[in-house]
Every structure is written in C-alpha cells, then in structure tokens.
Chains A and B, each alone.
Chain A
Amino acid sequence: MSDAVKAAAPRRSSFWGDTLHRVVRNRAAVAGGIVVAVFFVVALFAPVLAPFDPLKGRLGARLQAPSTAHWLGTDELGRDVLSRVLYGARITVRIQLAAVGLALAVGAALGLIAGYVGRWVDQLIMRFMDILMAFPGIFLALAIIAALGTGLGNVIIAAGIFLVPQFARVVRASVLTLKDMEFVQAARALGQGDLPIVVRYLLPNSLAPIIVQTSLRMATVLLTASGLSFLGLGVQPPSPEWGAMLSNARSYMITAPHVAMIPGLAIALVVLGFNLLGDGLRDSLDPRLRE
C-alpha cells in the first residue's frame, strides 16, 4: 500500500468508536452528559451526601434563609431543603427509569411489529398511537391519573404511557427504512426467520434513534411527573419529590422564595442536561449530519 493510500484511509472504521469521538467533540453533549452524570451520582449517594433527614424537621427552624448549617435554608416544617432536594433526585431517577423503560419496552415492540409486519397490523397499531396522541401534552397523563388515582406507581404509568407513541413512531420509521436495505434482504434470502432478522439486524441498527429518544424523553418524563405532583395529582407530600416540594412552597413564596425556587431550579437543570445530551447525541449519531 502506498503512503498516499494509507494516509487517505480512515483511521477509525467502527461506527460506535467514530460516534464516541464525535460525541466527545460535541460540547453540548459533554455539558449535558456531565449534568446527567452528577444527577445520577447525587441520586445514588443521597443518603451519604445529605446532611439531614429529608423528612424530619425542627419546628423551631422553620423557613430559614440559607446559612452555614442549612446551605439552602429550611422549609415550612423546618426540614433541610438541601437534603430534600438531594433525596428528591432519587425519586426522580426512579420515576424516569421506570417510565422511560416502560415506554421504551412497549413502544419499541409496537414500532418493530408495525414497521416489520406492515399492512393492517401497522394500520391498527399506528391508529391506536394516534388516539393516544390526540390528548395534548399532560392531558393523557391526567386522564390516567383520573382513572387510577395518585401515587408514585400511577405517576410512572401515566408518564410512561404518554411516551409510548413517541418510541413506537421512531422505531417504526427506522424499521421501515432498514427493511428494504440490502443486508436485510440478503439475510432473508439466506433463509433467516422473522425473529432473528428483527433481533439481529433491525433492532441493533435502530439503536441510534432509540438512544437519542431515551435521553430526550428522560427530560419529558421529569416535566410531566413533576407537573402532576405540582398539581397535587402525582407523588404526594411529605415525599421530597421536586414538583410536590414546589407545590407546598407556593404558600410561602413571598416570605421564603428560596424554598420554591430551589426544587424548580433542580428540575430545570436536570431537564436541560438531558436535552443537551439528547441533542448532542442526535447530532453525533445522525449519519446525515456528518461532515
């Protein structure tokens, strides 16, 4: 091989290696990734990091401004706001993972079936998705809460079902493009069955859009779930869920605004982190956007 050819040959040929390189070069993805990583660490180690019990307050220390003892002040029952926010991350992660996991499992399965089988099965599944999407924004989650009642488990179901159509659409679109590609046709010509084709070829090649969706939807779930809790229809007090904290703190907003502002800031920061990460991943994973 001449030197010229060697120089022209790409150094990396693996898709994921190439992608990782581009993700790292993408500043938005790195910034979002750092926020998300810190968030996961906080959720995991909240009991170690929190200086106080999130549920026990001292009535003598109500609605205190931030101080050296209570870095972020205390709430209306004298509970340490910092400890509550740190513990709140645990609840948030649990809701996010469970709801996105649910949406991903159901949505990806439906999308795969719709895209691969096609015809009336596709029509049936996608019309059903249309019905779920006919309830704008938080309304579908509200309807589910109306039927099932409040509480952590029902919030997870409500926030998860809300996202099923999003995953189904993304996976279906991906399968529709892949289905007619030569390597899938070749597998079929070689006598591979439907299940191996789906599991071995279609699913792995749909991973890029699924990963992007997962990151973006972790943000959506947090907004939906904390919104439900803010309305009093989600996770209930005294749980330190961020939306519920904010809802409680509304009554003291004029005398102690920090109690309401801090959980909101936590939500905004984590949502921004997942959005930055998702956006960055999309730019890095989408082959059409490569220079």
Chain B
Amino acid sequence: MIAYITRRLLLIVPVLLGVSIGSFALLHLVPGDPAMILAGQEATEEVLARIRHEHGLDRPLPAQFAVYLGHALRGNLGISIQSRQPVATLIAERFPFTLRLAFLAILVSAVLGVVAGVIAATRRNSMIDLAALLASLVGISLPIFWLGLLMMLVFSVRLQWFPAGGHGTAAHLVLPALVLGASSSAVIARMTRASMLEVLRQDYVRTARAKGLRERIVIYRHSLKNAMIPILTVFGLEFGYNLGGAVLTETVFSLPGIGRLIVEGIFARDYPVVQGSMLVVATTFVLVNLLTDVAYAFFDPRIRYE
C-alpha cells in the first residue's frame, strides 16, 4: 500500500511541474510584450522598464520560471492587473464557492445515479432499464448552459420555486447543483449498472441467494458494496469535470465562483488572475484524482499488486 502511494505520488510530480510550466507560459504565449500586457497599452517606456524589472521580465525565461514557481509554492500568485489585489486572495474568496457547488453536484449525482443504476441492473432489459438508459444518454448530451436556462425558465420564472440567480441562501444552490449534477448522474448511472451486472454474476452472490438471504440484502449488502468500488473512481473524475462545468453553471446563474473569475479575467486580459486560477484548479483536479486512486487501492487490494 505504502509503495503504491509512493509510486502514485512520484507520478504526479512531473504533471504538476508541467501544469505550472503551462500556466507560466500563458503570459508568454500571448502575442505582444508581456510588460505591455501587464501595464496596459498606454504605458510609458519608464513604466514598462519598471514593470520589466519588478516582474523579472528582463531575466532569461528559465530564471523567470524559477521565480514564478518559488512564489507559487509560497502561495504568492501575483497581483491582479484589474483589482490590484493579490491573486491568491481573489482565489481564496471564490474557489470555496466552486468547490461547494461541485461537491453538491456530486452528491446529487451520487444519489440519482446509484439509485437509477441499481434499479436498471436489477431489472435488466425491462422498460425501466431502457428508460434509465435513454435518460442517461440524454443527460450526457444536454449542454449545461441550456439545461440551466431551461430549469431557470421553468422553476424560477414560471413556477417561482427557486431564485433565478445570485447567491446567499441554500435555495440559490438547488438549481445550479441539479444542472451541474445532471451529466454526472448519467455517467454514474451507467457505471453503476455495468458494475452491478458484473457483480450479480459472481459466485458469492449466487451463494448468498442459495443460502436463502432476502433479495434486498443480497442486492444492497452483498452486491452494491462490491459494485461501488469502481464507481468510486468515477466520483473522483466527475468531481473534477464538475469544476469545469462550474464555469458554465456559474455564468448561467451569476454565481461568484472561480469559473467566473477566470472568464472575467480572460475578458479583462487580467493574465495573473487567469494563470493563478488555472494553476489552482488543475492542481486540485490532480490531487482529487490522486486521492481517488488511493481510495480505490484501499478498497480493492487487487489493484495494489498490478
């Protein structure tokens, strides 16, 4: 187990290094003088020289990257061009919101997806199974932003059950979490169905049935527990994808998350904000995947010896 975790940890080092090179390179990939990008088009030559010196832009690229990485590791992600606040502060204000939204969406999809998947698997090839299959295909095909507008139109404008946008109360998060969780629910339902069908074929399930256990216990205690192991990995992956989907959900419902921060940063050409947010989101995604893999190895000992 320890060896497995160590190997897995070593593997993420080059990935995180690559991610930080990517986010560092962003400013230099933008056509034009980085100093001018940071200072604005009207900056005088003196201001540009000062900016170049302050940001170390007059030094060779590898040296610049070393400084960037050193700062990032100590939590210094630079200063926002637009608001003049530290990028780390902006991210600390907005990221928890996105994490909460992504977590709620996973909760929604865990309940919907696992229930639908178990029902579909236990009544294989029935009308219910077919309906669940179709629903999950539709679920992964709907554009998040359109589903969001549709839900808003029906539940906020027409029925007035939930507020149409903004934030503050729990009611404000219901629609965004449902919208964001829709496609994860579909993925998890399909995975649960496949995994359950696999487990239901196993000898220990036949044994459980043969010794006369009630079907409910066979399904929930013996089968689902084992079927859940591969589904765990999907939870981790889907959590990451929900961070991506949050960009669109936050735009539809005007929510103050990191997705909005990035999009506004791109519009305002506020590159330090975009760089910092990308770095934080990607690092989070990599760490979530690491945790998922470790959890997988913990629950399924067969994995560790591969």
Interface residues of A (CB under 8 A from B): 127-128, 130-131, 134-139, 142-143, 145-148, 219, 223, 226-227, 230-233, 243, 246, 250, 253-254, 257, 260-261, 264-265, 267-268, 271-272, 275-276, 279
| A146 and B266 in contact, given A131-B18, A138-B248, A275-B140 (Cβ under 8 angstroms) | yes
Interface of B is mostly: helix
Partner of A142, one of B15, B149, B263: B263
Determine the chain A residues whose CB is within 8 A of the CB of B146 once the complex forms: 246, 260-261, 264-265, 267-268
Give me the 10 closest cross-chain CB pairs, A-B, nearest first.
A137-B244, A264-B146, A131-B18, A272-B141, A147-B29, A136-B240, A271-B141, A136-B244, A136-B285, A134-B282
B248→A233 contact, CB < 8 A: no
A131→B247 contact, CB < 8 A: no
B149→A250 contact, CB < 8 A: yes
A134→B141 contact, CB < 8 A: no
B266→A272 contact, CB < 8 A: no
Which B residues from 16 to 43 make CB contacts under 8 A with A? 16, 18-19, 22-23, 26, 29-30
A257→B244 contact, CB < 8 A: no
Task: Add 13 more A-B contacts to A130-B15, A254-B153, A268-B141 (CB < 8 A).
Answer: A136-B240, A138-B244, A139-B243, A230-B145, A232-B263, A233-B266, A253-B152, A257-B153, A261-B153, A264-B143, A264-B145, A271-B141, A275-B140
Determine the chain A residues whose CB is within 8 A of the CB of B266 once the complex forms: 142, 145-146, 233
B142 within 8 A of partner (CB)? yes
B22→A143 contact, CB < 8 A: yes
A134→B143 contact, CB < 8 A: no
A146→B271 contact, CB < 8 A: yes
A272 (CB) vs chain B CBs: closest residue: B141
A272→B138 contact, CB < 8 A: yes
Interface residues of B (CB under 8 A from A): 14-16, 18-19, 22-23, 26, 29-30, 137-138, 140-146, 149-150, 152-153, 157, 240-241, 243-245, 247-248, 251, 262-263, 265-267, 271, 274, 278, 281-282, 285-286
B76 to chain A, nearest CB (A): 21
B29→A134 contact, CB < 8 A: no
| A232 and B267 in contact, given A134-B282, A135-B281, A136-B241 (Cβ under 8 angstroms) | yes
B137→A279 contact, CB < 8 A: yes
B262 (CB) vs chain A CBs: closest residue: A142
Interface of A is mostly: helix
Determine the chain B residues whose CB is within 8 A of the CB of A250 once the complex forms: 149
B177 to chain A, nearest CB (A): 17
Q: List 16 A-B contacts (CB under 8 A).
A: A127-B18, A131-B15, A131-B19, A134-B16, A138-B244, A139-B244, A146-B271, A147-B26, A147-B29, A230-B248, A233-B267, A253-B157, A264-B145, A268-B143, A271-B143, A279-B137
Give the docked Cα–Cα distance between A8 and B30 (Å): 66
A260→B149 contact, CB < 8 A: yes
Partner of A261, one of B14, B150, B248: B150
B149→A146 contact, CB < 8 A: no
B141→A137 contact, CB < 8 A: no
B12 to chain A, nearest CB (A): 9
Give the docked Cα–Cα distance between A257 and B150 (Å): 9
Give the docked Cα–Cα distance between A232 and B282 (Å): 23
Determine the chain A residues whose CB is within 8 A of the CB of B152 once the complex forms: 253
B289 to chain A, nearest CB (A): 9
Give the docked Cα–Cα distance between A148 and B29 (Å): 8
| A139 and B278 in contact, given A230-B145, A268-B143 (Cβ under 8 angstroms) | yes
Determine the chain B residues whose CB is within 8 A of the CB of A227 once the complex forms: 143-145, 247-248
A96 to chain B, nearest CB (A): 14
B19→A134 contact, CB < 8 A: yes
Determine the chain A residues whose CB is within 8 A of the CB of B274 once the complex forms: 143, 146
Determine the chain B residues whose CB is within 8 A of the CB of A253 once the complex forms: 149, 152-153, 157
Give the docked Cα–Cα distance between A235 and B141 (Å): 21
Q: Which of B145, B149, B244, B266 has the most CB of A within 10 A?
A: B145
Partner of B282, one of A139, A246, A254, A264: A139
Give the docked Cα–Cα distance between A254 and B281 (Å): 34
B245→A137 contact, CB < 8 A: yes
Q: Which of A130, A135, A219 has the most CB of B within 10 A?
A: A135
A231→B30 contact, CB < 8 A: no
B138→A128 contact, CB < 8 A: no
Give the docked Cα–Cα distance between A143 and B23 (Å): 8
Determine the chain B residues whose CB is within 8 A of the CB of A138 once the complex forms: 244-245, 247-248
